[in-house]
Structure 1
């Protein structure tokens, strides 16, 4: 079972006036790249989030976005009065000849840094738990989407493999039919060599060279083996994108050689068609984990 590298999931975790929403988006990438966005107050959870992702995803660009909301400000913060700083302000006012009268509450709230919102005790731990819960659920949804898209890709890949295997079988049949032409060329070449008065050893060498240049049987056998290995790899439960790309390179190599040895228009047509299917497969597995 293969997985696509593209997916998306979003989930929200709630607890006593707090709500944490996590979205996880994964995109195509050669390596595992993790980035996250969250309120600065909770940056300490970033490493935990990254480790959660590494356990479930091995390749792809993964973007995590976390938002923290509360029913009211008091669910997250408490008002903090910096009394020592206020005393300094009041002392400065009393010493100033240009300021007189009483200092009101409105005056105090306008003084820089005297009043501030401070995270409530235990807030970080509460939100951290909600972040873990929401990210885990969003990650699960993302992987479900990756698996679903992977199934679609796998169906397409197997269909293309079926088509290639049919064409390889036809190439094999054509090779059998073309052996007569090959033997005729061999007889002509041998007649030329015999007229030149060469040794039996040279005759054997020339026959071997001509055979290697004309008969693509070995390449077709290897191509069929690579296609079979490709199918088996699709059944693996491990990430297989890199392995599939390597097998595909070998398929292209063998197909190129078959084309170079082809001596009929039909062989060329089949080789071109196989190359087109291999290219479509290459495009698909770029998005396979």
Structure 2
């Protein structure tokens, strides 16, 4: 009967929806864990990178700097360090994850809002990638982008 066919269709769509939600949750959890590893890697590498830049500048400039010049170089290094800092992107990504979960767990998940949040997370990850030359960190960026793409593909099926 038509009623039976509709009931089976509804059951099938509910099962598919549950499976979709499980996949997205798993990918999002993996992304969140990776984000934590990226933050740790950044913390490990930040001071090393600053030390390397200080050493290079000292070698290049040698004894030709006055104390005033040395203070200016220290200021410039501090400015560069701020430009390299990815903590803001990490924090914003965490906020996007919480917002994503809130929308996804709601009574009516909205695919467009979820897609927008994935775009925002991608922007944050791209910015992090552009701020570091660390090879291991860059591989983490690629992995993060792959996870976000998997989530995006799944939420394309959300109505």
TM-score for both structures, normalised by structure 2:
0.81
The verdict on how the C-alpha distance between 1:225 and 1:257 changes in structure 2, with shifts beyond 3 A counting, is same
Structure 2 counterpart of 1:281, from 132, 151, 158: 151
Considering fraction of residues, name the structure with more helix. 2
Corresponding position of 2:116: 246
Equivalent position SS for 1:183: helix
Structure 2 counterpart of 1:152, from 1, 5, 19: 19
Corresponding position of 2:106: 236
Considering fraction of residues, name the structure with more strand. 1
Contact 2:54 2:77 in 1 (8 A): no
* Whole-angstrom CA distance in 2 between matches of 1:214 and 1:150: 41
Contact 1:190 1:203 in 2 (8 A): no
Aligned length: 155
* Whole-angstrom CA distance in 1 between matches of 2:25 and 2:109: 17
Which is greater in Rg? 1
Corresponding position of 1:264: 134
TM-score for both structures, normalised by structure 1:
0.47
* Whole-angstrom CA distance in 2 between matches of 1:148 and 1:245: 22
Contact 1:153 1:284 in 2 (8 A): yes
Equivalent position SS for 1:182: helix
Q: Which runs of 5+ in 1 are unaligned?
A: 1-9, 14-22, 24-137
* CA shift for structure 1 position 172: 1.1
* CA shift for structure 1 position 188: 4.1
* Whole-angstrom CA distance in 2 between matches of 1:229 and 1:175: 24
Q: Where in structure 2 are the equivalents of 1:172-251 lying within 5 Å?
A: 172-185=39-52, 187-188=54-55, 191=58, 192=61, 195=65, 197-198=68-69, 204=75, 206-251=76-121
* CA shift for structure 1 position 181: 1.4
